[in-house]
Structure formats: C-alpha cells, structure tokens
Structure 1
Amino acid sequence: MITWRRLEVTDFPLVAQWLAQPHVHRWWYHEFTMEAVERDFGAACRGEEPGEDWLVSVDGVAVGLMQRCRVADYPEDFEALSAAVETPKTVATLDYLIGDVGMTGKGVGSTMIRWAVEETWRDYPETDVILIPVVAGNLASWRALEKAGAVRVAEAEMEPENPIDETLHYVYRFDRP
C-alpha cells in the first residue's frame, strides 16, 4: 500500500541519505549535507514558500519524495518552461525521486506520479495542465511519466540541473480530464 504525507524537518536525514545515492544524485544534483537539505527543503516544510514536498511510503516504509508547485510561483522556471512550450499561468509541475534503489523498476514511480496528478486536479481547481520537463537522458523518469499517462509535447533546450547533462529536455503534459 502506498501512502503520502508532507515532508517534515525530521525527514531531512533520510532525504540527505537519498540525495547521496548514486541513482538519485545523478539526476537530483543537490548537495546532501544536512545544511544543504535544510536550505533546499526547509522553507517548503515551514510553509514559507509555495512548493510542496511529499514523503512517499510503501507498506509503511519511506521510499521516495514527490514535489509539486505552480510554475508561475517560480518566475525563472516559468520563463524557461514558457520558452519551450505554451505555458498557462495556472500550470503546475512535479518532480520526484525514489530514494531506495531496491524500489526502482517496480512501478512505484508511475504510481507516485498518477497520485500526484490526481491530487493536483483536486487541490488546484484552477489548474488544467501539468507540465514536466525531463532531461532527455533520464530514461527512467520519462518512461515513468509515459506509464502514468503523460504525453510528450515538446523537445526543448533547457539548462540541466547537472552540468554533465545535455540541454535537451522532453516536456511531458497531463491535461485535466
């Protein structure tokens, strides 16, 4: 059974551990010291910024992280996405990771994404579109999106999080049913 709850400060050691895992760090190019995790996730946990971080558990064991926000709440991200594809002001986006490598390749990612999409339609009634840019080289991520029902709507040059990546991104879209 998969469950979800908002990320809490007490989860930061686990998030730091996940960010240090090679399969996560490759695509989530974050520092993973406790100070860096506090810097990157603390404001959302305290409600000081509009983005949301969700801890995902399978059978009571935390396995991943889901982030959600309205893109317009982050002007630089909105500008970059708008340059790539038509982006309504009400568009939302998601980001996700599976920290436990033993849970990868088992459908957890696509299940997490489907959940987040359904919750977004419920929680953000003004949002009719979810757009998710993914580095083209991140095969596991874009395949999880496709399994969850997303449609690739664009290829775009965007600044990657990890400097070793090419700039090519695939942009995926969910439309409100």
Structure 2
Amino acid sequence: MTQVDGPLSFTPLREDDLPLVAVWRGRPHVARWFHGPLDAAQTREKFLPRISGAEPVRVSIVRCAGEPAGYIQEFRVGDMPRVMAALQVDPEARGLDMLIGDAADTGRGLGTRVVREFSDGLLADARVPLVVIAPDVDNGAAIRCYEKAGFAAVRQVPSTFDDRTNLLMERSRPA
C-alpha cells in the first residue's frame, strides 16, 4: 500500500519498468477495464514502441512519495485517427488513460490527485484546449474519480478497442 498523500512525480516509462507494468495489468481491478492481462511479451510489444517514440503515446510511471503507484498515458487526439473518429473533439485535445497498480491504493483519492495534477500540467500549455478521458460507462469508480478531478461527462462514445461503450469526459482550462 502506497502513502497516497505523498508528493507525486511522473517519470517517463523505461524498459526496466515493463515487468511492473505487466504485474499491474494482470491484477483483477485493472484487467477488468484494460481488456485483460498482458504477459511479459505482450507488455513489451505494446509499450516498447511508446518508449521509443514510434507511437504517439507518452507513458509515465506515477510515483507517490517516491514509490511506483501506477501509470498514466497521454496523447494528442489528432494523432490517433480511431480515437479522433470516436471522440470527435478538437484534434489538439490531449487524451489520457491511467491506472493505479495496487487495489489497496484505489478509493483513497490517489487517482483523483494523479489525473488532476497531470491534466493541470497539460492545460498549462496554451496550445492544449482541453483534456479528455473516456472510461467504460460501467466503471463507476473511474467516473467518480475523474469528476472529482474536474472532468465533466459529455456523452457516450464507442470504445476504439471492443464493443463496449465509454463515457467521454472533458476538462477545459479554467476561464
């Protein structure tokens, strides 16, 4: 269990982080919403192109009080054609996806802090008009987390990975 009120930091994902990512992706509270677990080979296949910059998704390990607590990934929506088609938002918007690795750390405010602080950083860039996130419509815990972080529900959208339905949520720069 992580000290969830400690300082947060976001460090770029490295290859030596991948075994921990595979462990997190295999945990039931994560696998349920992330299309099942990934083994070591699948984790490398999915994340090495992101680490190298071959894919336009930037992944960061979230550390709380110096301890790895999860990851967050960010992308420019316009760089992801399937996502752009599903969400129909400004192409300069930034999309997020995140997870908390240990189930004992969920429901304690950590996810809200992570999403709020990370999106604050993105919205500090005047070129970024809004930040979006699209949890599964049945993932009530994630939806509540994002609402507490300042995101507002906009509409239901199709998942770009399977036949599920997601809830598009947006957070804009404060006026």
Percent sequence identity over matched residues?
Answer: 29
Shift of residue 160, structure 1, vs aligned partner: 6.4
Shift of residue 135, structure 1, vs aligned partner: 1.1
Shift of residue 66, structure 1, vs aligned partner: 0.4
Q: Which runs of 5+ in 1 are unaligned?
A: none
* Structure-2-length-normalised TM-score: 0.90
Deviations 1:96-147 (A, max 9, x none): 000111111110000010111111123x431111122221100111111001
* Structure-1-length-normalised TM-score: 0.89
How many angstroms apart in 2 are the aligned matches of 1:102 and 1:61?
Answer: 14
How many aligned residue pairs are there?
A: 168
Q: Given that residues 31 and 37 in structure 1 are in contact (C-alpha distance below 8 angstroms), is that contact kept between their aligned partners in structure 2?
A: no
Moved more, 7-16 or 130-139: 130-139
Partner of residue 152, structure 1: 153
Shift of residue 49, structure 1, vs aligned partner: 2.0
How many angstroms apart in 1 are the aligned matches of 2:159 and 2:166?
Answer: 9
Runs of 4+ in structure 1 off by over 6 angstroms are: none
Partner of residue 5, structure 1: 11
Q: Which runs of 5+ in 2 are unaligned?
A: 1-6
Partner of residue 141, structure 1: 142
SS of match in other structure, 1:135: coil
How many angstroms apart in 2 are the aligned matches of 1:168 and 1:28?
Answer: 13
Partner of residue 109, structure 2: 107
SS of match in other structure, 1:134: coil
1:46 aligns with 2:56: no
Q: Given that residues 94 and 132 in structure 1 are in contact (C-alpha distance below 8 angstroms), is that contact kept between their aligned partners in structure 2?
A: yes
How many angstroms apart in 2 are the aligned matches of 1:48 and 1:161?
Answer: 20
Counterparts of residues 46-85 of structure 1 (less than 5 Å): 46-82=52-88
Shift of residue 161, structure 1, vs aligned partner: 4.1
Q: Given that residues 135 and 160 in structure 1 are in contact (C-alpha distance below 8 angstroms), is that contact kept between their aligned partners in structure 2?
A: no
Partner of residue 4, structure 2: none
SS of match in other structure, 2:10: strand
Partner of residue 3, structure 2: none
